[in-house]
Every structure is written in C-alpha cells, then in structure tokens.
C-alpha cells in the first residue's frame, strides 16, 4: 500500500491549537436525534490507511529514556516474574486471535486500573486459547530495562489526517509469558515524561496511535479475529476500521471497545479532530462523533462503530445508562445497549500474591494470615513513622486523589474517625486540595496518620498487607481494583455500593456473619462514618467474627479466570464461522 504524500522526515507535527484557519468549521445546528453511524463503503483504505515500508533499521525513540520525568508512572513496581505461563489452554474452546489496543499497560506504564487490566487480561486469555498481541505507544518514560528488551520489528511511514505529512511508525516488540507486546514508536508523539499531558497534546497523539496501530497490524500481516480497544485513547480504532481501513486486510476484524472510565472521553472541537484524524465528514454526525454544536467526542464515535461495548462491571453497565452516571452519553449508551455488557475485572494472582510478594515484610497465606498480618502491620507502622501497636485498627486508602474517589466524604469525617485507637494511611497523588488536606491531617495527628503523597507500587503492596481495612468511598467506580487487592490480602474493604464495588463486596451481615466487607449506599459522609464505625465495632469487640471475614476474603475468587472466559465467549459470539 502506498502513502498518499511524499515522505518529509524532518517536519514536525502542528500542535492541535495551531490548527490552520482553513480547516472548515462545523455549521451550528440544534442537536439532532440519535442516528446510526454512517459507514463509508468506498475503498478509501489504500490511500489513507497506507503504509510505506522503508529499509532503514532504526528507531526514532532515544536509546536512553532515563531523563524523562517519571513521577506519575510505575517507577517502583515490584519486579515482574518473567517465567512462562504453564500451557493450561482450554482445548475445547476454539482458538481466536486478539489485538489489544490501549494507552497503558503494567509494567511498562501504568497510571491506574487500565494498566492492570491491559497486563492481566491478555495473560489470562492466552490460557483460554487466544493468541494475543498488545499494542501500546512506546512512551519515552517506559523504563530502560524494558526499552532494552524490545526488538526492532519494522518501520513504515503513514499519512495522518490533514497534516499533509507522512509520519514515522516504528514497531518495537517484546514477548513475555506468551503475550506479544508491540510498541508503536514515534518520538514526536511519545517523548513526554507522562503518558497523558493535556488534551491539546493527547488528541493528536491518540489519533496517530489509533491509526498507526491498525496500520501496524496490516504491516506485520497479523490480522486478528478481534480488535479489543480500551477507553477513549483507542476509541477511534473501530471508526478507522469501518472507514479508512474498511477495505484493507485488517478490515475483516471485529471490534470490542471497553469503557474503563466513562468520565474520560476525548472531547475536542470538530475541526481539530478532523484535522488530526483525517476521518471522513460523515462520521462527524450526531449518531457518531459529534456532540453538541461544535465538539467531537472520540469515545462516542467508538461506541457507535464498535461491534460490542463492554464495561468493567454489571452494575456500572446499568449505571452509565442513567443521567447520574452517564457523563452526557447516557442516551447514546441506551441507544447502543443491545451491544453493551458488563464483565467484572479480576486481579492477577502472580502479581498479587501475599505468599510470594517480594515487597512484603513477611509473606503469608490464608493459614497464617492472622499472625503474619500483624507482623506486616508493625513493619508498615515502622516504615511510615506511625506508633507501632498491633492492636490499633489501621485503615488504608490507595487511590488517585480525585473527586471520583469520594475523598470529600472522607475528609469531612477524619476527625471523627481518629479515636486514639485507629490509624489512617493514605497513598496517592492527584488534586492539590486533597494532597494538602491529607498532609494537614498527618501534621495534626502525628504518629497516627500517614499521608504518602506519591505513586509507589511496592508501598501499595505493603499497605494492602499491613492495613486491617481499606476505604473505597467512591462517588462512582466502574470496577475498582483496590478492593479486590485488599480482599486478596485479607484486608476488609469499606466501600460505597456503586459500580464494581457493589458487585464484588457483599456487605457483612452481623446476624449471619456472612459477607466480605462494610458498605454504605447513598453518597453521604454520615453513612461512610457509620460504615467505618460498624467496622470498628466488629474489629474491637467481635474479633473472631472479623477474623472469619479476613479468611473468607482471602479465599474469595477474585482472579481473572472467570472474567477472561466471559471475554472469550464474547469473542466467539462475534466470530462464528
Ligand atoms: P483507577 O483505575 O480509577 O485509578 P482502580 O481501583 O481501578 O482505580 O485501580 C487503581 C490501581 O492503581 C490499583 O492497582 C492500585 O493499587 C493502584 N494505585 C493507585 N494509586 C496508587 C499509588 N499512589 N501508588 C501505587 N499504586 C496505586
């Protein structure tokens, strides 16, 4: 296939806010009714989806990426055990090939739950007889130890939108545990210290990435049965696939788009997204990308064009169709609800295993958790400068510090929680107002409150192991992984009944002793305090009951196996031949 324009290696892309004034602006009109997306049937792929192979074997990313600012990515993660996954394939399940396309993946780059899912689900799908490739940007902030392991796979040039330029697309490959990772290399787009900067930079970056990922599949001649895209950063993939790439080899793949967090959608004015994406005018209609009078919404377009939509819990799949949780897309989601499904996340049992976790002071399992957890608690208290006392109730909170996470509720009741027998450990970064509030409380309750304003993977593991309970009072929570990690480490979750928190934490019942943690429903600080007080009562006055819940939580199946089987079934549903 040929690129449309001649190669111009040295040109730099125009920043998004520098869009030429010649770009046509969308005529203002009142909101049109929801319509099905318009698919372009014309064979445009050869021109716009084209790739031009070049002979030079080089990478555009610097050999050393160490200078990049890495503060918000997983810089202190526990080492990944690179050993082959036992071939526990399920022979009766037909083999399918799947390309994962997303913006982050542990251990290369992770800012939240998406990174965990992109790591764990492909590994589990390999066990479910899938052939999986994960396509990621080759960010310069990926640590050198992983950069060093990547092997050059090829390169080509690709046109992009209305820029009039051809862009370098390098493919660097790394294979681990049966999963092939292909990193899309381009220094102009991926050289920042963090994966996400601001929409002005991120919109062009992820237009490029989505298109380059599809072009790379064609280039490698690896045509998957399924393309599984994640969040807004990869949401243009289904749109490209059914338009510019429709008649190219990859056009035969089916698409699944997973919403990990509906709050982030990739919205910008239409001319800018047209300029960078090069998508045909007809996709900028109210049934697909267009939103309101003048904006384009990348996630909205992806939802319209994907063959299936999933989100990360059954409750969230329902919630996002309502005004309260729908982030302005509830109507669009209701329209597409026939193809929407909730599949709850799991956790990776190799990455999260208190028996083998190298980050912990003492390893343990369900048999010796009651004793060993106290040792981990004492070690955690020492590490954080807290009063060392194994009888204190330690409440943990591990979170991005944003308003999604219910921190306003928590902040409002901290003085009432601090009773002299309770300690609080916060680990997180995010909005300054929360960071400052937690620092204030650390100062006020010296020796009883620890505010770790940082991203530290290993410390997170030690908090899961050393705390007695973990707070997740979220305003909304698509799935939530911290409550799953906590339960697996014998730490009782205290959660608001929303999204995946509702689906994974059964409330403790004082009469029957059943349940996994303490819950509250309405978004109300008083109800959070009440849930914490119920936890305190159980911990301080009914320790035997508490200990039973600890052991039950450790035994609870929160692995990926069940969920991966559901994804596999979804893939099979889409590819019945
Ligand atoms: P979200 O994706 O909304 O951030 P999740 O609960 O789905 O929330 O996933 C959060 C993941 O990130 C968990 O694995 C949690 O342990 C981890 N995490 C969050 N904040 C930190 C931090 N400051 N340091 C280390 N790990 C963190």
Say if residues 259 and 325 touch (Cβ distance below 8 Å).
Answer: no
Say if residues 345 and 315 touch (Cβ distance below 8 Å).
Answer: no
Q: Which of 110, 258, 263, 399 to mutate to test the pocket of ligand 1 (most atoms within 8 A of CB)?
A: 399
* b/e sequence 272-284, b meaning 16+ C-beta within 10 Å: bbbbbbbbbeebb
Q: Which of 111, 264, 351, 398 to mutate to test the pocket of ligand 1 (most atoms within 8 A of CB)?
A: 398
**Ligand 1: which residues within 6 Å by Cβ?**
112-113, 116, 398-400, 427-429, 455-457, 460, 479-482, 485
SS3 176: strand
* Sign (positive or negative) of CA dihedral 143, 146, 151, 155: negative
* Sign (positive or negative) of CA dihedral 284, 289, 292, 296: negative
Nearest CA to ligand 1 atom 8: 113
Nearest CA to ligand 1 atom 15: 482
Single pTM value for the model: 0.84
Residue 292: count other Cβ atoms within 10 Å of its Cβ.
13
Work out the widest C-alpha separation in the chain, in whole angstroms: 76
Q: How far is the CA of 528 from the centre of ligand 1 (A)?
A: 21
Q: Which of 75, 77, 112 to mutate to test the pocket of ligand 1 (most atoms within 8 A of CB)?
A: 112
SS3 559: strand
Burial of residue 107 (CB within 10 Å: 0-12, 13-18, 19+) is buried
In angstroms, rounded to a whole number, what is the distance separating the alpha carbons of residues 352 and 485?
Answer: 7
Per-residue pLDDT tens digits of the chain, which is 577 residues long: 333 333 333 333 333 333 333 333 333 333 333 444 444 444 444 444 444 444 344 444 444 333 333 334 444 444 454 555 555 554 578 999 999 999 999 999 998 889 999 999 999 999 999 999 999 999 999 999 999 999 999 999 999 999 999 999 999 999 999 999 999 999 999 998 889 999 999 999 999 999 999 999 999 999 999 999 999 999 999 999 999 999 999 999 999 999 999 999 999 999 999 999 999 999 999 999 999 999 999 999 999 999 999 999 999 999 999 999 999 999 999 999 999 999 999 999 999 999 999 999 999 999 999 999 999 999 999 999 999 999 999 999 999 999 999 999 999 999 999 999 999 999 999 999 999 999 999 999 999 999 999 999 999 999 999 999 999 999 999 999 999 999 999 999 999 999 999 999 999 999 999 999 999 999 999 999 999 999 999 999 999 999 999 999 999 999 999 999 999 999 999 998 6
- CA 338-260-563 angle, to 5 degrees, is 70
Nearest CA to ligand 1 atom 17: 112
Nearest CA to ligand 1 atom 16: 482
CA 345 to ligand 1: nearest atom: 7
Q: 208 is written with which tokens? A: 């490029």
């Amino acid at each position: 296939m040929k690129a449309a324009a001649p190669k111009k290696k040295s040109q730099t892309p125009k920043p998004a806010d520098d869009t030429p004034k010649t770009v046509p602006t969308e005529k203002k009109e009142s909101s049109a009714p929801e319509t099905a997306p318009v698919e372009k049937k014309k064979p445009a792929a050869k021109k716009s989806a084209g790739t031009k192979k070049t002979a030079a074997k080089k990478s555009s990313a610097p050999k050393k990426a160490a200078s990049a600012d890495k503060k918000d990515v997983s810089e202190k993660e526990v080492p990944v055990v690179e050993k082959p996954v036992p071939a526990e394939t399920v022979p009766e399940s037909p083999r399918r090939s799947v390309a994962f396309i997303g913006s982050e993946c542990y251990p290369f780059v992770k800012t939240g739950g998406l990174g965990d899912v992109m790591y764990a689900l492909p590994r589990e799908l390999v066990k479910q007889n899938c052939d999986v490739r994960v396509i990621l940007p080759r960010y310069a902030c990926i640590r050198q130890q992983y950069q060093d392991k990547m092997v050059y796979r090829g390169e080509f040039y690709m046109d992009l939108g209305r820029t009039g330029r051809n862009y370098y697309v390098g493919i660097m490959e790394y294979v681990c545990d049966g999963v092939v990772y292909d990193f899309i290399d381009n220094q102009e787009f991926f050289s920042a210290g963090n994966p996400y900067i601001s929409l002005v930079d991120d919109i062009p970056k992820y237009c490029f990435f989505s298109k380059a990922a599809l072009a790379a599949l064609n280039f490698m001649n690896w045509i998957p049965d399924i393309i599984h895209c994640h969040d807004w950063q990869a949401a243009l993939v289904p749109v490209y696939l059914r338009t510019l790439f429709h008649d190219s080899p990859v056009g035969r793949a089916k698409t699944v788009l997973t919403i990990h967090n509906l709050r982030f959608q990739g919205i910008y004015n239409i001319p800018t997204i047209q300029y960078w994406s090069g998508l045909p005018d007809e996709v900028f209609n109210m049934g697909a990308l267009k939103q309101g009078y003048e904006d384009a919404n990348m996630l909205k377009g992806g939802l319209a064009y994907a063959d299936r939509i999933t989100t990360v819990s059954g409750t969230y799949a329902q919630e996002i169709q309502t005004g309260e949780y729908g982030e302005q897309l509830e109507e669009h989601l209701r329209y597409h609800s026939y193809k929407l499904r909730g599949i709850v996340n799991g956790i990776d049992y190799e990455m999260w295993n208190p028996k083998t976790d190298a980050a912990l002071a003492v390893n343990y399992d369900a048999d010796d958790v009651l004793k060993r957890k106290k040792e981990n608690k004492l070690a955690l208290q020492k590490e954080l400068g807290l009063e060392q006392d194994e009888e204190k109730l330690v409440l943990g909170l591990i979170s991005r510090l944003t308003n999604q996470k219910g921190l306003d509720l928590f902040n409002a009741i901290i003085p009432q929680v601090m009773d002299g027998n309770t300690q609080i450990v916060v680990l997180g970064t995010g909005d300054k107002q929360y960071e400052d509030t937690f620092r204030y409380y650390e100062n006020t309750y010296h020796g009883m409150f620890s505010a770790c304003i940082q991203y530290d993977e290993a410390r997170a593991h030690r908090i899961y192991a050393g705390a007695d309970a973990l707070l997740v009072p979220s305003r909304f929570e698509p799935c939530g992984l911290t409550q799953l990690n906590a339960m697996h480490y014998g730490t009782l979750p205290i959660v608001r009944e929303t999204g995946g928190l509702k689906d994974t934490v059964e409330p403790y019942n004082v009469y029957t002793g059943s349940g996994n943690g303490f819950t509250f429903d309405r978004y109300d600080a008083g109800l959070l305090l009440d849930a914490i007080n119920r936890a305190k009562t159980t911990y301080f006055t009914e320790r035997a009951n508490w200990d039973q819940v600890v052991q039950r939580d450790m035994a609870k199946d929160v692995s990926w196996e069940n969920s991966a089987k559901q994804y596999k079934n979804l893939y099979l549903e889409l590819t019945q031949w």
